[in-house]
Amino acid sequence: MKRVVIIGGGIAGMAIANALAEKKAAEITVITNSPTYFAGPSRPLLLTGEQSYSRIIRGYEEAGKRGIKVVFGHVTGIDPENRRVRLSEVQYSDSRAGELGYDYLVVAPGVVFDGSAIEGYERYWHRNATVYDPGRVNVLKRRIWGMASGRVVVYAPKAPYRCAPAPTETALLIHTVLKHRGVRDKVEIVHIDANDKTQPPVIADVVARIYQEAGIQLVTNQELAEIGDGYVVTKSGERYNFDVLAALEPNRAPKFVEEAGLGKTWVDVRSPQDLRHPKFDDVLAAGDAAGLPFPKNQEIAFESALFAANKILEMEGLQGASVQYAFVGWAYVGNLQGRLETNAVLFGLDFTAQPPKPTKDPEPKREYTQRKDSWEQAYLERLFGYGAV
Ligand SMILES: Cc1cc2nc3c(=O)[nH]c(=O)nc-3n(C[C@H](O)[C@H](O)[C@H](O)COP(=O)(O)OP(=O)(O)OC[C@H]3O[C@@H](n4cnc5c(N)ncnc54)[C@H](O)[C@@H]3O)c2cc1C
């Protein structure tokens, strides 16, 4: 049996592992750096208390029963010429060597949030917290629920970054909490965006309308250059004081990708359908780390994973499942009246049409928040083998 090593036990990594396990076509090893996985999409609802950690956390034990070997360790390097992956701090596994060999390697480690290009970040990173990290979202929650007056600054870096609407979701959920607490009129919310409109562009008009109703100030085309003790400065020199900062750092693939010569910001791939590296037939990428011309979200991560699994099956003379690039998503827009009952708007893009076909329902609905929850839970059940506990 061929040895397939997958770096990253997230949406893409587990989708590939499951697709290959179903075919019993290979010896599958997933290397991932934590014994638990936290789903991303509903993390913003931790801010309002509408989501709980216990419903979005999963372990890998049930996947193990499906014949997927999981190694908990931190990948530090890839040697694609000699087909080796280096890893450190290996826990609970029989892989003591700190190195694994492979016949096929799939690189799916997601993204790194990298503030190093922002002046002052190294010193004042602790002034910042976002919904993006499962722990830091709790820091942001504490700050929002504790503040009585002042200014909140939310920041979105240049696209592509993970989950296009999450910064606007952050701003609108912060509005909801402050309104709920009766202090909204004493707190200014400013959203600074490095792009010419909020992301994704398909619902930028809807967000602009809701921001106006919520009294959220939007500043576009401004990249963050500096973080200080209670202020940020944009590249064009505008300074904004803040009491609470929720700034998403620019995203990239982990450094071992660049060090292995596999790509600079993202892993290079031949095409969205052929996710092999241009230089190596046996190295593929999937998920947010792959250099794809699409938004970085869970549906695209899953679809790219199926394309990657299909390519491995094809090289082994087997047939995979049929798959296309298209997604439907739900962006939280909070609750303008301050009830802790978040509404969402629906949007989507179908990349099988040329140009890609957008869809949206601009009317915020509670039902869409519930649909997003069912969708997220279905993914977790499918990939990790069990539902919410
Ligand atoms: C706040 C938030 C909101 C989101 N909202 C939505 C949404 O509404 N809709 C939507 O479709 N998507 C949303 N997403 C995006 C979605 O979660 C991601 O696109 C998806 O998880 C990408 O899958 P992935 O497998 O590439 O990365 P991940 O799921 O992040 O998995 C990567 C895995 O690799 C592991 N790893 C990383 N580095 C190493 C290493 N060096 N060694 C070993 N293991 C490593 C990580 O621990 C992780 O388990 C959201 C994400 C966040 C954070």
Distance, in Å, from the CA atom of 267 to the CA atom of 107, rounded to the nearest integer, reads 8
Q: What is the pTM of this model?
A: 0.97
Cβ–Cβ under 8 Å, residues 176 and 48: yes
Q: Which atom of ligand 1 is nearest to the CA of 329?
A: 9
pLDDT for 296 beyond 60: yes
Predicted pLDDT at 64: 87
Predicted pLDDT at 304: 98
Percent over 70 (pLDDT), the chain = 98
Distance, in Å, from the CA atom of 157 to the CA atom of 161, rounded to the nearest integer, reads 7
Which of 5, 6, 7, 11 to mutate to test ligand 1, by most ligand atoms within 8 A of the CB atom?
Answer: 11
Predicted pLDDT at 95: 52
Cβ–Cβ under 8 Å, residues 80 and 280: yes
CA 132 vs CA 6, 167, 190: distances in Å: 23, 9, 18
pLDDT for 92 beyond 80: no
CA of 162 to the centre of ligand 1 (A): 8
Percent over 90 (pLDDT), the chain = 95
CA 352 vs CA 324, 349, 355: distances in Å: 7, 9, 9
Residues 377-388: pLDDT tens digits? 999 999 999 998
Residue 322 structure tokens = 């049929």
pLDDT for 366 beyond 80: yes
pLDDT for 93 beyond 60: no
Taking each continuous run of H as one helix and of E as one strand, the counts in the chain are: 10, 21
Domains contained in the chain, CATH given: 2-111+253-324 (3.50.50.60), 113-250 (3.50.50.60)
Residue 116 structure tokens = 């190093």
Predicted pLDDT at 97: 57
pLDDT for 57 beyond 60: yes
108 CB less than 6 Å from ligand 1?
A: yes
295 CB less than 6 Å from ligand 1?
A: no
Cβ–Cβ under 8 Å, residues 347 and 337: no
Side-chain half-sphere exposure of 305, counting CA atoms within 13 A: 29
Predicted pLDDT at 389: 85
pLDDT band at 359 (very low <50, low <70, confident <90, very high): very high
Mean pLDDT of the chain: 96
- Round to the nearest angstrom and report the end-to-end CA distance of the chain: 35
